[in-house]
Structure 1
Amino acid sequence: MSRKIYVSAKEVAERAGVSRSAVSRTFTPGASVSAETRRRVTEAAHELGYHVNHLARGLMRNESGIVCLIVSEMDTPYRASLVRALTRRLQSQSKVAMLINTDRSDSSVDQALKQAISYRADASIILSGMPDRSITDLCLRSGQRLVLINRDEDRDGALMINLDDQEAARRALSAFLEAGCRSFAFANSEVMTPSLMAREVGFQAAAREQGLEVTVERYGSTTYQSGVVLAERLLEREHTPDAIFCANDLIACGVMDVARHRYKLAVPEDLCVIGFDNIEQAAWSSYQLTTFAQPVEEIAVRAVEWLSDHGPVEIHSHRLGTQLIWRGSVREAKS
């Protein structure tokens, strides 16, 4: 037996004994309809299991309410927190998020985005520096509004949201110097997104201004396991660092575990460590990691507010600061 999926507005009108336009007005915010008509329509809709087809209604206004989230490394705690904040904010604005995973740099990503565009997605938010610039081009050519988060592209008609990563790196060096550290390293991944490289370059530049050198090691992706390998490389050297600034918190956690358990170094007495992102694990008693908190909620608010603005599309750019969260992985400042 065939199953009927959708109930039409015409069927609701017939059950309620009203016109088709009365049904439409009943479910249109602010439209004029009598209390009795509204009661009859809503009762009929409930009995029949009717739901408004917002997609069809939006397409009549040339809007679908769909926003693509183009994301890589979705399983990392920071990326998950940003996706959570964005989807909550989009839902509060009656928009629907469509998630596209870009971990694989092959034609599947391009095909998924084209499929999303075929559903008349209004906009896309690219959450990382990994996806190829061709994805940005495809979004703009399709007439979408576009938000770029932590990317180094300057595109007409797009909103760019970036962090002041280099300033954070300078504060990291200052914290190490105040703790009495004298040998510095930066632990990075090989992903080399603009934000990760800005932290590395900023840390090196701040050290050079003080007449100091920074040992840089890069390995793999921005994961705990990469931190394990990076710690081995740095701590096997003849001259080991007493301060390591890590590109993110997952790397920092791997570095700390190897330093303490394999090399028997005390943190922060023998080695000071600073991370980036302020993920939940950073506050765990096992780590008590000093780190920089990204303004996740502010990023979500600015992105969705801009997408909800129906005025002229112009170039906009925001560079947001980060908060240094002090915990136990850096020694107290020496007098």
Structure 2
Amino acid sequence: MTTPRKVTSLDVAKRAGVSRSAVSRVFTPGASVSARTANKVREAADALGYRPNVLARAMLTGKSKIIGLVVAYLDNHFYPTMLELLSEALERQGYHVLVFMASHSASDIEDVVSQILDYQVDGLVLASVALSSDLADRCRASGVPVVLFNRMLETDGELAVVSDNRAGGRMAAEHLVQLGRTRIGHIAGWEGASTQRDREAGFMEGLRTASLGLFAREVGDFRLPRAQDAARRMFDTDTRPDAVFVANDYMAFGVMDVLRAEFGLSVPEDVAVIGFDDVPAAAWPAYALTTIRQDTQAMVAATVDALMAEIDGETFASPSPLPVTLVKRRSA
């Protein structure tokens, strides 16, 4: 069985009775072409099943209309939600998203970003991963604006869109204190992330204001199995915490499963649990998780605004950390 020959712009030009350059202009946004020619070309293209080669056009125009997105994981429900909102928002601006996965390692991130730059993307969003100063310089030299999503760098001058994680951590501590809990633990996320550091810093501030110290601490690295192991270590003691702040909802679900199924504890009667993010599953009756809500729509809107401004050659400063809110449910 032979593979059908791919239809080219030359085939369309012959059928429409126009030049090949006229076909190119019809499929180039903003190009000058008469309505009569455009109609002839589109009718010929539809009849032949022709689709323009976007990447080839990018080589000519220098604009791919593609935004690269690098994420470390999609199992955390926060990021698929963000990806859907970001894709929809960018499509309204005439752009599409190209997704790449990367680990937290600097070498892996550098390899992935290098691959993305080969696609001549018009912009780059890094979600849940960091960016070295050298790699940031390379992106700037390539004329590709970069926006960090839900992560900040220690260096100045990088565009970053984040929530007020520090305030969220304080809210979590204040709420647990108001509930009368005194043996309060914390299961941290990946300690290389600014989001984790800021959430824990705010949480500790809230405890100190109430003249309390941290009763127990473990690290879950924002990974479900590690969070479950962290819960086992924290609660396999004679004197257990009566409350725990987990650095994101995804880990909190695993922690609650361990507390109930393996230790026979009741949430919140024996242990109050608070998460962070307010992903859709947090409202499910099985968890009814009290959590700190990030305004994902506002974060995505700020990210798109920053990208569009930078692509248009404007100077755009990182927005202030976006407000968060405490969402009270049955777990605390």
Give the structure-2-normalised TM-score: 0.88
Secondary structure of 1:140's partner? helix
Residue 55 of structure 2 contacts residue 64 of structure 2 at CA under 8 Å; is this kept in 1? yes
Pair 1:283 & 2:283 matched:
yes
How far does the alpha carbon of each residue in 1:227-246 deviate from its partner, in whole angstroms, 9 at most, with x for none? 32222222233432211111
Pair 1:317 & 2:319 matched:
yes
Q: Residue 255 of structure 2 corresponds to which residue in structure 1?
A: 255
Aligned length: 329
> Percentage identity across aligned positions?
34
Q: Residue 71 of structure 1 corresponds to which residue in structure 2?
A: 71
Distance 1:159 1:190 in 2: 21
Q: Which amino acid in the other structure matches residue 328 of structure 2?
A: W
Q: Residue 168 of structure 1 corresponds to which residue in structure 2?
A: 168
Secondary structure of 1:182's partner? coil
Q: Residue 333 of structure 1 corresponds to which residue in structure 2?
A: none
Distance 1:108 1:31 in 2: 40
Q: Residue 265 of structure 1 corresponds to which residue in structure 2?
A: 265
Q: Which amino acid in the other structure matches residue 123 of structure 2?
A: A
Secondary structure of 1:292's partner? strand
Distance 1:129 1:205, change over 3 A: farther
Pair 1:212 & 2:217 matched:
no
Q: Which amino acid in the other structure matches residue 4 of structure 1?
A: R
Residue 218 of structure 2 contacts residue 234 of structure 2 at CA under 8 Å; is this kept in 1? no
Distance 2:152 2:30 in 1: 43
Residue 163 of structure 2 contacts residue 299 of structure 2 at CA under 8 Å; is this kept in 1? no
How far does the alpha carbon of each residue in 1:219-278 deviate from its partner, in whole angstroms, 9 at most, with x for none? 343133223222222223343221111101122122222222333322112211100111
Pair 1:49 & 2:28 matched:
no
How far residue 28 of structure 1 moved from its aligned partner, in angstroms, is 4.6
Q: Which amino acid in the other structure matches residue 105 of structure 2?
A: S
How far does the alpha carbon of each residue in 1:24-47 deviate from its partner, in whole angstroms, 9 at most, with x for none? 444455666555433322221112
Pair 1:4 & 2:43 matched:
no
Q: Which amino acid in the other structure matches residue 5 of structure 1?
A: K
Distance 1:130 1:218, change over 3 A: farther
Q: Residue 330 of structure 2 corresponds to which residue in structure 1?
A: 328
Name which of structure 1's ranges 191-200 and 160-169 shifts more when overlaid on structure 2.
Answer: 191-200
Over the residues paired in the alignment, what is the CA RMSD in angstroms?
2.5
Distance 1:149 1:238, change over 3 A: same
Residue 65 of structure 1 contacts residue 122 of structure 1 at CA under 8 Å; is this kept in 2? yes
Secondary structure of 1:316's partner? coil
Distance 1:218 1:35 in 2: 66
How far residue 319 of structure 1 moved from its aligned partner, in angstroms, is 0.9
Distance 1:193 1:215, change over 3 A: farther
Show the 5 A alignment for 1:103-182: 103=103, 105=105, 107-130=107-130, 132-153=132-153, 158-182=158-182
The gaps in structure 1 that reach 5 residues or longer are: 331-335
Residue 154 of structure 1 contacts residue 160 of structure 1 at CA under 8 Å; is this kept in 2? no
Residue 70 of structure 2 contacts residue 101 of structure 2 at CA under 8 Å; is this kept in 1? yes
How far residue 182 of structure 1 moved from its aligned partner, in angstroms, is 1.9
Residue 122 of structure 1 contacts residue 145 of structure 1 at CA under 8 Å; is this kept in 2? yes
How far does the alpha carbon of each residue in 1:22-73 deviate from its partner, in whole angstroms, 9 at most, with x for none? 4344445566655543332222111222223333434433222222111102
Residue 246 of structure 1 contacts residue 276 of structure 1 at CA under 8 Å; is this kept in 2? yes
Distance 2:81 2:308 in 1: 21
Secondary structure of 2:321's partner? strand
Distance 2:30 2:243 in 1: 61
Residue 146 of structure 1 contacts residue 157 of structure 1 at CA under 8 Å; is this kept in 2? no
Distance 1:34 1:231, change over 3 A: closer
The gaps in structure 2 that reach 5 residues or longer are: none
Secondary structure of 1:260's partner? helix
Q: Which amino acid in the other structure matches residue 65 of structure 2?
A: G
Show the 5 A alignment for 1:289-304: 289-304=289-304
